[in-house]
Amino acid sequence: MTVLQGPYDAYRDSIPMYPWSPTSFLINGHGKFDCRTLNCSEKRTWQDSCGVTHPIQCLPLRSPFFGPYNPNAHSIDEFLCLHGKQIRLRLINAVSGIPFRFWIGQHNLIIVARDSIEIVPITVSFVHITIEQRLDLTIDCNQDPIATYTIFAASRNSYRPLENTTGQTSAIWTWALLVYSKFQVNKRTGRLTEVLRLSPDNSFFEYEFLKSFKPRFAPAAVRRVTLAFETVWNNHTAIDALEEWVVNEITFESPKEPLLHANFFDGTFKHVVANERPGRVNNIHATYVEHFEYGQTYEILMINYDPQLHPWHLHEYSVDFIAASKIPTLKSNKCNGTRQDLKQFDYNTILPLLNSTPRVLSIGDSFNIPRESYVLFRFTANNPGPWTFYCHMQWRIEPGVSLVFSVE
């Protein structure tokens, strides 16, 4: 098993390489568990989009938890469908670190919902699903009923030519089978649908194509809240060289007890928030709370300065996404740009006015913010209480990529 060296600047010449590599890939708990291998003795390299060559950094971590990997530990799972009928699948990316591609041999996928919200159906030959997102798919079972068809779930580099692989996420995948019923055979042919041709590198797919079933416009907002997040690397000392994860320069600390309980029993949660303390990179450790007035509509600007994607999730709300793009930069050569260059951009020059009612791109509660990008959404604060808003790669709550929306 392997793990990346790091963090960035913690060791001489160390460079962060995202996404971090998985060791298991499963469908409903079955598949290739604890079976990834990589020979760390080989001095391999990879090339980024700017043509810079980096060393692949890995080190032996541990042996598999349950002994040597056995690819035949159980039979391949089968999903049953009647010929001439449809099945509906709920696809949930429950992995801890990467998006994945999903497809079924000789079958198109019809995406009909995201985050349990119906959308205008679109037909694709494969789909990329981000971390912790939920997509509903329907499948027309209109192929040869005697054959079986492979269902694939794969990491990014499992379906790309070797020369186009990115970083060091190795090839890892798993599979199941789509099987037609042997007891009922319907000879009807399936309907013909136009297949949407997707780019495997479209990081903004969910905002461009997962349209609301009924076109809608976002209500005007009373205030914009900007949430800029990043990983700040501490290179001040060789002894204490860990990174800090921050949102608006605040590293989230869990409260002393649940905020909802404090509100219910005491009428306030001010006495249970964590004690503030300084961090190591000019940040603050605190229970970060943004306050919203009940019944008002707010606009949230999420800015990701990191070189990796972040999936976010808001409890108890679905939100209206109205803009998403790469962070504009004034420098013509982005390969020589710095994070500080990204922070100079004035978003007021491109975002809609608060009193405007822009068209909604998509609706959901779980969403991806690609590397060095921004996402803009609006929501109406109509569900009172303190609600967690956090990076949906849930282990990141502990290092601090989280905050609380308190609707009062």
Per-residue confidence band for 399, with pLDDT thresholds at 50, 70 and 90: confident
3 pLDDT above the threshold of 50? no
Name the 3-class secondary structure at 100.
strand
In this prediction, residue 365 carries a pLDDT of: 96
330 pLDDT above the threshold of 60? no
Angle CA(274)–CA(294)–CA(222) in degrees, nearest 5? 100
In this prediction, residue 137 carries a pLDDT of: 97
Per-residue confidence band for 7, with pLDDT thresholds at 50, 70 and 90: very low
Pairing of β 319-326 and β 402-407: unpaired
314 pLDDT above the threshold of 60? yes
What radius of gyration do the chain's Cα atoms show? 23
In this prediction, residue 207 carries a pLDDT of: 95
Cβ-based neighbours of 353, under 8 Å, separated by 6 or more: none
In this prediction, residue 101 carries a pLDDT of: 85
In this prediction, residue 39 carries a pLDDT of: 52
Cβ-based neighbours of 317, under 8 Å, separated by 6 or more: 365, 379, 383, 387, 405
How do residues 332-341 score in pLDDT, each as one tens digit? 556 766 777 8
Peptide bond into 19 cis (omega under 30): yes
Summary mean pLDDT of the chain: 81
How do residues 9-19 score in pLDDT, each as one tens digit? 333 344 444 44
CA 161 from centroid of its chain's CA atoms? 23
295 pLDDT above the threshold of 90? yes
In this prediction, residue 182 carries a pLDDT of: 62
Name the least confident of 180-189, 197-206, 297-306, 356-365: 180-189
Reading the block at residue 64, the tokens are 């598999």
Q: What average pLDDT does range 269-274 have in this prediction?
A: 92
How do residues 23-70 score in pLDDT, each as one tens digit? 667 888 777 665 555 555 556 666 666 777 766 555 445 566 666 666
How do residues 151-190 score in pLDDT, each as one tens digit? 988 876 555 444 444 444 556 778 899 999 765 444 444 4
Per the CB < 8 A criterion, the answer to whether 281 and 249 are in contact is no
Domains of the chain (ranges; CATH) run 78-209 (2.60.40.420), 223-407 (2.60.40.420)
Per the CB < 8 A criterion, the answer to whether 32 and 173 are in contact is yes
Name the more confident of 360 and 33: 360
Reading the block at residue 109, the tokens are 């996928």
The amino acid sitting at 275 is N
In whole angstroms, how far apart are CA 241 and each of 103, 283, 403?
42, 15, 25
In this prediction, residue 408 carries a pLDDT of: 93
Instruction: Return the top range by mean pLDDT from 98-112, 160-174, 185-199, 232-246.
Output: 98-112
Angle CA(238)–CA(239)–CA(244) in degrees, nearest 5? 90
Name the more confident of 246 and 96: 246
Strand ranges in 155-212 using DSSP code E only, listed in sequence order: 173-180
In whole angstroms, how far apart are CA 69 and each of 7, 76, 264?
29, 16, 50
* Predicted TM-score of the model (pTM): 0.84
Burial class (CB in 10 A: 0-12, 13-18, 19+), 72: exposed
